[in-house]
Amino acid sequence: MSQWVRFCSVTEAPAEGSVAEVEAAGVAVCLARIKGELSAMDNWCPHRHGPMGQGWVEGNSVVCPWHSWTFDVKTGEAEWPVKERIAIFPVRVQGADVLVDIEGAKKLGESV
| Amino acid type, 18 | S
DSSP 1: -
Q: Comparing 112 with 8, which gets the higher pLDDT?
A: 8
For residue range 61-97, what is the model confidence (pLDDT) as tens digits?
999 999 999 999 999 999 989 889 999 999 999 999 9
Spans of all domains in the chain: 4-101
- Quote the CA–CA distance of 72 and 39 in Å, as a whole number: 10
Phi-psi region of 76 (alpha: psi -120 to 50; beta: other; left: phi over 0): left
- Confirm whether pTM is higher than 0.95: no
Phi-psi region of 47 (alpha: psi -120 to 50; beta: other; left: phi over 0): alpha
Residue scoring higher pLDDT (94 or 105): 94
Task: Supply the CATH classification number for the domain 4-101.
Answer: 2.102.10.10
How many angstroms separate the most distant Cα atoms in the chain? 38
Strands, E, within 1-112: which ranges?
Answer: 4-9, 18-24, 27-34, 37-42, 56-58, 61-63, 70-72, 88-89, 91-94, 97-101
- What does residue 95 show for φ and ψ, rounded to 5 degrees? 65, -125
